[in-house]
Amino acid sequence: MLSIIGGLLGVATGYVMLRGLVVVIPSHALPAEADLRLNAPVLFIMLAAATLAGVLFGCAPAWYASRLDPAGALTEGGRSGIGVSRHRLRRILVIAEFALALPLLAGAGLAIHSFWNLTRVDLGFRTDHILGFYVDPPPWKDLKQTRMTAYYRSILAGIAAVPGVSHVSVMAHLPLDTYHYPIPFTIAGKQAYTNASPRPSAYLQTITPDYFQTFGIRIVKGRGFTDADNASSLRVAMVDEAFVSRFLEGVDPLQQRVVMELGIAGEPKNGPPLEWQIVGVFHTVKSRGFQEYDPEIDIEDHPEIDIPLWQMAYPVLGIAVRTAEDPASMTKSILTAVNMVDPQAATFEPRSMEEMRDAMLANDRFAVILFAGFAVVGLLLAAVGIHGVTAFSAAQRSHEIAVRMALGATRNRVVALVVKEGLVLACIGLGLGLVGAYFLGRAMQSILFGVGTIDFLTLDGVGAILLLTAFLACYLPTQKATRSDPMVALRHE
């Protein structure tokens, strides 16, 4: 009956926690595989498991007691008689609970530490007050560079005229989307590659001059692009700090040129190799997000090359607008400005950069909340279990405590004796739990960011929490037992 009641209360608690999870994580930020609803078969299985656990663990002590010799039990002191084997069983229970609780809490701690590291990653640009969206212009029969350039200049002018817009730029891909793919390149005058496969690669971004002001990206050396960098001028490029450190270490990057074969609008193949003079170096931008890794296509940590859109335009591009107000409140007016320039233009995926950032963190945030929820429940169960075993042990040792106090032992001395024993058992359990925490850390490496298999900061914090739990679980029941009159306890026994 107790297990059934507890299972039903667990169902109610699960429903409340589920509603809280929905409030904490907005629906648009949830991963696609997250199905946040109570599942009847799962609830039935869990309720059955809770009932079965109550029956098994309720029968186990009765079965154990039925095996005791009545004469031996009476000799050991009646109600307070505690055999060596029962002492051993309780100690094993306490050690096992700590050994199981540590890996659970350590897993949650690793997930929380990993999420904290992700939120502290320097993306290289500002995400506040920026609206991003894509424009798909109508089909053009003549995809010439001059026509595309004029089209996007008119779009920029229309958006810039909207009140509250401070900067607007056009680019091939918005930061934090998944459309960035690397292209091969060479450094002019450096090693010649006969095979395309070993050539180094980098992300390519085509941008308008206001790109760096829109996203607040620092130019650390040289200059940015201007409207003078057009199709009739010298082809120029900018590279990030990661590019310089990897490919141009020890040389002046502003004296180097990169060679690339780029795609041409309306053509199925790439064009001929073209040289682009490096004129500036900018702070590294994590274009693909926080971890810069896509396991499906094995893209990881590529540097970036930027070229002027006015020198190499594409028919489908992203637009970023820095606003003085909340971007959501200006979305309608900005998209209206685009439609006034071209009523046939299709705009899609309008979102603030903050929303894109939150969406990219959705999976990690979801995992952290789940891990933290399991950890809190695990800690609560461990605390209740340890407290129950310790309180039962203190009640069984009431005769011993009364004798000690009757012979002159102080209350603090008795409490210290029991607490010391409990902490020793807790330390043994934590030592055994370190093995489980290590293997759990290894299993979680693929989903962690900036956290090693053994994270001493996490283990220290988790260990301190469990030791505090052990201290309170030992201290409170023993303190209560020592408040009773020793003579009353002896007469009762």
pLDDT for res 192: 59
CB 162 within 8 A of CB 197: no
Smallest CA-to-CA distance from 473 within 376, 384, 381 is with: 384
Tokens 């002018």 sit at which residue? 157
Please give the Cα distance from 320 to 174 (Å, whole number).
7
pLDDT for res 141: 47
Q: Which helix (H) or strand (E) holds 168?
A: strand 165-171
The residue type found at 190 is K
Please report, for the chain, the start and end positions of each structural domain, with discontinuous segments joined by +.
Answer: 1-48, 84-122+354-493, 138-344
Between 338 and 345, whose confidence is greater? 338
pLDDT band at 196 (very low <50, low <70, confident <90, very high): low
Q: Burial, 349: exposed, middle or buried (Cβ in 10 Å; 0-12, 13-18, 19+)?
A: exposed
| pTM of the predicted model over 0.75 | no
Residue 346 has pLDDT above 70, yes or no: yes
pLDDT band at 75 (very low <50, low <70, confident <90, very high): low
Quote the percentage of the chain above a pLDDT of 70.
Answer: 82
The residue type found at 87 is H
320: which 2 tokens?
Answer: 């970023």
- Reduced to 3 DSSP states, what percent helix, strand and coil does the chain have, rounded to the nearest 5? 55, 15, 30
70: which 2 tokens?
Answer: 């009545």
Write the DSSP symbol of residue 178.
S
CB 248 within 8 A of CB 273: no
Please give the Cα distance from 19 to 24 (Å, whole number).
9
For 202, phi then psi, to 5°, come to: -150, 160
